[in-house]
Every structure is written in C-alpha cells, then in structure tokens.
Amino acid sequence: MARIIKEIDDNLEITQDKNFFELKTYRVSQELEKSIHSILEELFQDSTRPQILPLIYTITKELTINACKANHKRVFFEEKGYDIFNPKDYAKGIVEYKASFSENMGLEYGPKSKSRGYYCLIRFEYDRNGITITVINNTPITKQEEKSLREKLAKAMQYDDLAEFYMDNADNTEGAGLGLALIIIMLKGEGLDPNYFRISIMGNLTSARLEIPLSEAFKSKRS
C-alpha cells in the first residue's frame, strides 16, 4: 500500500502506511486531539480490549502535551537568551516560563517551534497482536529534568492508587514527571504492565513509548 500524506493545516500532518499512522505537529489543537481519537478508534475497533481506548487516548494526549510544551519551553529560553543547560540560567528561566505560561501559549509558540524545526511526532504502529504508540520531540532534556522524571517514574512503580500517590506527593504535584508517574498508576489500574511504558533519551530526541499487547503472540520492542 502506498504511503499517504495528508496536511490538515499548518500545524498538523498525517502520514499513513500499511502498518502505521504518524502525526507531526507543533502544538496541541482540537484537530490534533480529534485525529488521535479517530486513529485509536480505528485501531481498537476490532481489538480484544476496546474498553481501554479512553485510557490510551488520555495517555497519548498527555505525552503529546508534554512533548509540545518541552519544545515551547526551549523556544522561550532561546528568545530570552538563556542557556537551558546552565543551572543558573535554567533556574531563572524556568521561573519566568511558569509565570508566563497559559493554556493558549501553544498558539504563539507552535508556529515559533515550527520555524525553528522543533516538532512532535506521534507514531502508531499496529498489527493483530498489539499496538505501539511512540511520542517524540526533538529538543534535548536537561540532566536536572531527566533526574526528576526518572525519580517520579520509579516512585510511581510503588503505588497502585492515584489518591494515595497524590497525598504522598502533595508538595510536588506539577511538571511532566508527575503526568508520567500518573500514567504508570493508570496502566496498573487497567491491568496493563507498566514495564511496557518506556522513556528514552538519545541526543536531541526524547521518546516516550507505550506498547499494548493484544494477544499472547505480541513481541515487545524491548526483546
């Protein structure tokens, strides 16, 4: 089957081939959310676990928001002239970034990300045995951010209850790390092995991958 590429608007491009869909975007939008949901509906239509579609949609959206925000933050730092890898610059810049943050920030920073070549790629690979969703953004993560993220993920593995996790982490309930930790707990709640969720950092690429087995014949990329 020939590859099909469809440009929805200046912010969203969809690629389809025999065993995958791919969305390339620069910010979160209603069109993007609709496209993610539409693709998942198609993939889960004849699957053995249609009931987990809402969870997988929520997780995919959360990962996409994190990826786009990371790119927008990088643009913000560049415009301010801050070195995101310099601890002093980072400490100053992150305070200013959070102070200026709003839900509509993507409208401004989406086009700016695109002009700088910063993107978010959402890839859906599938066959009858399982689905793999990978969300990639191409701005590097700082050591400080990676450390915080890894700590939250490790901590989340110790919990099975969202309310309990929130209560124990009441003083640290913000940032992408928290969202990723909640993903771990939600997967556990649906009986999905959280070890099928992985974060990888390779050079300028940060990748979040979720594998969803649909049969015993599923082979993980970890293998």
Tokens of 220: 């993980």
Give the pLDDT confidence score for residue 175 in this predicted structure. Answer: 57
Residue 22 makes CB contacts below 8 A (sequence gap 6+) with 14, 15, 16, 121, 122, 123, 124
Determine the residue type at 197. F
- What is the DSSP code string of 6-32? EEEETTEEEEEETTEEEEEESS--HHH
Which two three-digit tokens encode residue 170? 């009441």
Q: Report yes or no: 84 and 90 within 8 Å, Cβ to Cβ.
A: yes
Q: Name residues of the chain where pLDDT drops below 50.
A: 173
Q: Rounded to an integer, what is the distance from CA 25 to the centroid of its chain?
A: 12
Question: Which pLDDT does position 142 carry in this prediction?
Answer: 86
**Angle at the Cα of 61 from the Cα atoms of 18 and 69, rounded to 5 degrees:** 115
Q: What is the CA radius of gyration of the chain?
A: 18
pTM here is 0.91
